[in-house]
Amino acid sequence: MELVIGTKRWSSWSLRPWLALKRTGAPFREIEVQLRQGAASDAAIAEHSPSRQVPVLKAGDLTIWDSLAICEYLAETYPEAKLWPADPVVRALGRSAAAEMHGGFQALRGECAMALEEEPRAVDISEATQKNVRTIVERWNQLLSRSGGPFLLGEWSIADAFYTPVATRFRTYGIKLSEYGDNGPAAAYAERLLATPEFLEWERASLA
């Protein structure tokens, strides 16, 4: 398999399936395309991606060009990795949370881009982004309360892969979750996401 990703410092969409693929233990070749280089980036991505976006997973003759679709393919192909829980109710909740991230929170994504190379700093965020943060804190606490943790559905899952880039944003932009309805569990969860071996491997490589 080959996973085509964007620049590790910035590509939150690439990070998500990369984490899931790492969890499977399956061997794969990683192809990193440098972003923010205008036409050169576009041409490099177009060599691999029908959508002209990253990430892209190539598995034999199959090409998958969406981060959530890649994760679902991996969950089906490597059931032993338990990327989704066996319980259908818990799995449905996890899929809802991942899809909510996949299709929402545009204000947070636009205003607070993933930037692993930047030192943490406190910034003022817009009302729209504040609303996104409150919703995320509510969702995290809702799922953590139901599962008992340590991750959203209990054991690590695709839902956690989708929120790991969010945790980096909270860290980089000095967003204190206690100011958005959290009394501790959500902030602790964000720290756990950033302490997983897979994320630490990605972060080290991004800064090398």
Residue type, 37: Q
* 206 within 8 A of 117, measured Cβ to Cβ: yes
User: How far from 161 is each of 15, 24, 39, 73, 196, CA to CA, in Å?
Assistant: 8, 13, 30, 14, 11
**pLDDT tens digits, residue range 18-42?**
999 999 999 999 999 987 778 877 7
- The closest alpha carbon to 172, from 131, 144, 203, belongs to 203
Query: What integer is the mean pLDDT of 128-132?
Result: 98
Q: Which residue has the higher pLDDT, 151 or 50?
A: 151
Residues of the chain with CATH 3.40.30.10: 2-81
Residue type, 183: N
Query: What integer is the mean pLDDT of 45-58?
Result: 83
pTM for the model stands at 0.95
Residues of the chain with CATH 1.20.1050.10: 88-199
pLDDT of residue 188: 98
Whether residue 175 is predicted with pLDDT greater than 80 in this model: the reply is yes
Whether residue 181 is predicted with pLDDT greater than 90 in this model: the reply is yes
pLDDT band at 52 (very low <50, low <70, confident <90, very high): confident
pLDDT of residue 88: 98
Whether residue 84 is predicted with pLDDT greater than 80 in this model: the reply is yes
CB atoms within 10 A of CB 194: 15
62: tokens are 């199959």
Class of 88-199 in CATH: mainly alpha
User: What CATH number was assigned to the domain covering residues 2-81?
Assistant: 3.40.30.10
Query: What integer is the mean pLDDT of 88-115?
Result: 97
Query: What integer is the mean pLDDT of 9-15?
Result: 97
**pLDDT tens digits, residue range 192-208?**
999 999 999 999 999 99
Query: What percent of the chain is modeled with pLDDT above 90?
Result: 90
Please give the mean pLDDT across all residues of the chain. 95
| 5 secondary structure, DSSP code | E
pLDDT band at 135 (very low <50, low <70, confident <90, very high): very high
